[in-house]
Structure 1
Amino acid sequence: MHAPHFVGIGGAGMSGLAKILAVRGARVSGSDSKESETVLALRELGATVQVGHAASNVPDGTSSLVVSSAIREDNPELAAARERGIPVVHRSDALAALMGSRRALAVAGTHGKTTTTSMLAVSLAALGLDPSYAIGGDLDAPGSNAHHGTGEIFVAEADESDRSFHKYAPEVAIILNVELDHHANYASMEEIYESFETFVGRIQPGGTLVVSADHPGARELTARVAGRDGLRVVTVGAAEDATVRVRSVVAHGMTSEVTVELDGAELIFTVSVPGRHYAHNAVAALAAGVALGVPAEELAKALGSYTGVRRRLQLKGEAAGVQVIDSYAHHPTEMTADLEAIREAAGPGRVLVVFQPHLFSRTQQLAEEMGQALALADASVVLDIYPAREDPIPGVTSELIIEAARRAGAEVTAGHDFATAPALLADLARPGDLLLTMGAGDVTNLGPEILERLAGVAVR
């Protein structure tokens, strides 16, 4: 891939691959629908990036056209590549090729992949191992979602949404949880299990599967793959039969002290992000690193250097005594976990949420559960659905979630006008509150606007 062209190069997964290839010396080009900090970061690495999609964007000499499942068949650059005989490569095949020469560690699961992959990337780097990594979110600055390292380990987020994780052949794999999601691609829980079983079957002979001992779907999957030749299974969690057992998670504001039992010895370390689910993610990262030969005590200490990833309970700022925190949660399980974590950290303060549903198909299937999750907040504002790659579904709107939340006893307001949401939330908040911007769409952009509004209110 000496001259790859990326369609949608600014996306979380695509930009990481483009960065690694650019650093490795490839002549990278691409296009995206809009300018962004990620696009600017890629240009600084030497990539040629056009805004908008057109056949003319594909340079002469392009060796391959890289696409994700979000790219539609009628995309003009995809059509141009096919007309010119340029090989079309899916993002997952490109990532598999990059991982091929390294000791690969792939992180899978319905929730928590980005956080756990980030924890491993940060902690392994802190130990001087300089891993390569590809993550579905930035660690801090734009473009920090990927790195071409000199070490032998490659840590990658493995996406199940379109079954692309079937392309990878890791030495160690993590499966955090198994739930029904991505309803446009999976019709039943049985299809989900079959997909994850295929992924487990891709683990290299003699490799290790690190899997949750607590999550019902993960336990079912473990039962299905138990006894496979050449596969070592390490279970992690609070369950009594866990191979690596979580003895306790003690909250200290926005951090947690975790006690685990590993190989008969007790290990205590700190996770610098709040919430039990983040602590369990860290334990899964610990078990996976140990499976690759990293000393447990050293890795446990290094995990404390992880302070979060953008959009995963990221503190955006504080104004007028109100902390504004950004959450990528968009599935009911994720929403519940983040709200429980923030509730614990809030103390006597209230927890407020502005939630933007992501995808019509997900809302159609999970509106009731989303509404129940929002009942964990003291008050919520629900925005219109962020469509992403989907076309509208008749009758499916954010009102389904609002009605479900009210049935669950939640105080919820419809926020159909995105532009007025910051003022609405600033008026709702009071000193001591924690306010979450929640969802996988552009709701993240509201955080700075809410802070500005709050600061203005305080000045007056």
Structure 2
Amino acid sequence: MASAVPSAVPSAMERPHFIGIGGAGMSGIAKILAQRGAKVAGSDAKESGAADALRALGATVHIGHAAGHLADDASCVVVSSAIRPDNPELVRAAELSVPVVHRSDALAGLMTGLRSIAVAGTHGKTTTTSMLAVALTELGLDPSYAIGGDLDGPGTNARHGAGEIFVAEADESDRSFQKYDPQVAIVLNVELDHHANYASMDEIYESFETFVGKIVPGGALVIAADQPGAAELTARVRRGPSAPKVVTYGESATADVRIDTVTPRGLTSEVTVLLDGRPLTFTVSVPGRHYAHNAVAALAAGVALGIPAPELAAALGAYTGVKRRLQLKGEAAGVQVIDSYAHHPTEMTADLEAMRGAAAGSRLLVVFQPHLFSRTRELGAEMGQALALADSSLVLDIYPAREDPIPGITSDLIVDAARAAGAEVAACRDKAAVAGVVAGMTRPGDLVLTMGAGDVTDLGPAILARLSN
């Protein structure tokens, strides 16, 4: 059994104020600090399940942003890269000379003194981190974890455990993953994304190389053998002067942890890997080959940390999914509605192929909401091509998140590319009309997939309600 971990809160974090406290990454750090005894406060743009969960832990959560929300005795203000310099609480922090801490620095502080696993990659971070958190908990190791999504309900994205292991999702989007010093680092894939922060693949590789360079002496890098970007990163790391131990996984014959077979079993998969030349078979309780790869990455990382492979493989079967990762929202009138966070073409293709494999013979209808103007400008054509895997699609307006509009960049780029690829697709400017349009398109046996990283997830219940009527 793991030894107890330090529960003291650094003085700088005793009374933290979070701007955007309801966000996936921010709320997790706030939750762990509250569980460790800090006096947590913060603000967010709207009410949420995460805000309610934090209040239940004693945190003060304001709705809306105002200078008066920042207490005079705050020990620091925690921000993410999405917080703009003119935020009134950030301006007030400068007036009061309250230190400003990036969320990555706060998370790095929480991991100090623990055996940490940092999960990185352009896609699959949340799923893989969740798989590890669930499996280690199932084994009684009581890990701490910080995940970019909820496991089974609001506020379940993070936990302060009594064990010595900390599993964290490591975000490359703003280079913040370079702040961590993991014992084991996972790199699932390396692709060009986050175009506002990276101008080229070379910049992406350099950023990941810096992340890998922070692995503590004696630690290990677990990295995909099959994905081209990961393979290039592996070659670069091995050429470096002080490369960590490298453990590759995948279907390649040269992989250290080789995936022998992935057998679909409805909405689950049976996976057999060869580890040290011996077969090991276990169940992954979510559909799709890419999720099987995520599970094998989690297995390889746990083994690198010293956890027996057979025990960990069995425990991975306890993972049943995370919100917004092919999450079944319900069924009405014989139609299943499923929610997907996929917003990059690779993720979209993987989830659409997974649904095709899991429900052969069913029609697949997609409601897609592009995320970010910059991503649509760079990858809109590929998004449209991915939608050709669906039987029919509706494309909503771009969800801007932290970005201002870019002249000439609209979701029409995706619609036009999808039509050029032979897809049946239509633009839908009125989000409020989507539920009715979808209800008119469906018939019993269909699958409806709401897809994107924005508020398209809110449409699932509305579609189910309209189908029920």
Please state how far the C-alpha of 1:60 moved relative to its aligned partner.
2.1
Deviations 1:129-157 (A, max 9, x none): 01000000000110000000000000000
Contact 2:22 2:44 in 1 (8 A): yes
Tell me which amino acid in the other structure corresponds to 2:76.
Answer: S
| 268 and 384 in structure 1: CA distance in 2 versus 1, 3 angstrom threshold | same
Deviations 1:255-308 (A, max 9, x none): 000010011110000000000000000000000000111110000000001000
Supply the distance in 2 between the matched residues of 1:240 and 1:66 (Cα, whole angstroms).
45
Please state how far the C-alpha of 1:434 moved relative to its aligned partner.
1.1
Correspondence for 2:468 = 455
Identify the range of structure 1 (370-379 vs 423-432) with the bigger mean alpha-carbon deviation: 423-432
The equivalent position to 1:157 in structure 2, one of 169, 184, 204, is 169
Please state how far the C-alpha of 1:101 moved relative to its aligned partner.
1.7
Please state how far the C-alpha of 1:335 moved relative to its aligned partner.
0.1
- Superposition map of 1:292-441 within 5 A: 292-441=305-454
Supply the distance in 2 between the matched residues of 1:295 and 1:9 (Cα, whole angstroms).
37
Contact 2:237 2:243 in 1 (8 A): no
The equivalent position to 2:293 in structure 1, one of 280, 286, 301, is 280
- Report the TM-score, using the length of structure 1 for normalisation: 0.99
3-state SS of 1:273 partner: coil
Contact 1:206 1:230 in 2 (8 A): no
Tell me which amino acid in the other structure corresponds to 1:361.
Answer: S
3-state SS of 1:220 partner: helix
Tell me which amino acid in the other structure corresponds to 1:360.
Answer: F
Correspondence for 1:82 = 94
Deviations 1:337-376 (A, max 9, x none): 0000000111111111000000000000001000000000
Contact 1:257 1:271 in 2 (8 A): yes
Supply the distance in 2 between the matched residues of 1:396 and 1:337 (Cα, whole angstroms).
25
3-state SS of 1:226 partner: helix
Tell me which amino acid in the other structure corresponds to 1:90.
Answer: H
Supply the distance in 1 between the matched residues of 2:201 and 2:454 (Cα, whole angstroms).
26
| 393 and 230 in structure 1: CA distance in 2 versus 1, 3 angstrom threshold | closer
> Pairwise CA RMSD of aligned residues?
0.7
Please state how far the C-alpha of 1:83 moved relative to its aligned partner.
1.2
Tell me which amino acid in the other structure corresponds to 1:386.
Answer: Y
- Superposition map of 1:243-262 within 5 A: 243-262=256-275
**Alignment gaps of 5+ in structure 1:** none
Tell me which amino acid in the other structure corresponds to 2:24.
Answer: A
Q: Does 1:199 align with 2:227?
A: no
The equivalent position to 1:62 in structure 2, one of 48, 53, 74, is 74
Supply the distance in 1 between the matched residues of 2:113 and 2:146 (Cα, whole angstroms).
15
Contact 2:53 2:154 in 1 (8 A): yes
Deviations 1:415-437 (A, max 9, x none): 11000001101111111111100
Contact 2:365 2:391 in 1 (8 A): yes
**Alignment gaps of 5+ in structure 2:** 1-12
Supply the distance in 2 between the matched residues of 1:72 and 1:329 (Cα, whole angstroms).
26
Aligned-pair identity in percent equals 74
3-state SS of 1:310 partner: coil
Please state how far the C-alpha of 1:230 moved relative to its aligned partner.
5.7
Correspondence for 1:213 = 225
Supply the distance in 1 between the matched residues of 2:242 and 2:361 (Cα, whole angstroms).
53
3-state SS of 2:195 partner: coil
Deviations 1:158-186 (A, max 9, x none): 00000000000000000000000000000
3-state SS of 1:35 partner: coil
Tell me which amino acid in the other structure corresponds to 2:323.
Answer: R
Tell me which amino acid in the other structure corresponds to 2:411.
Answer: S
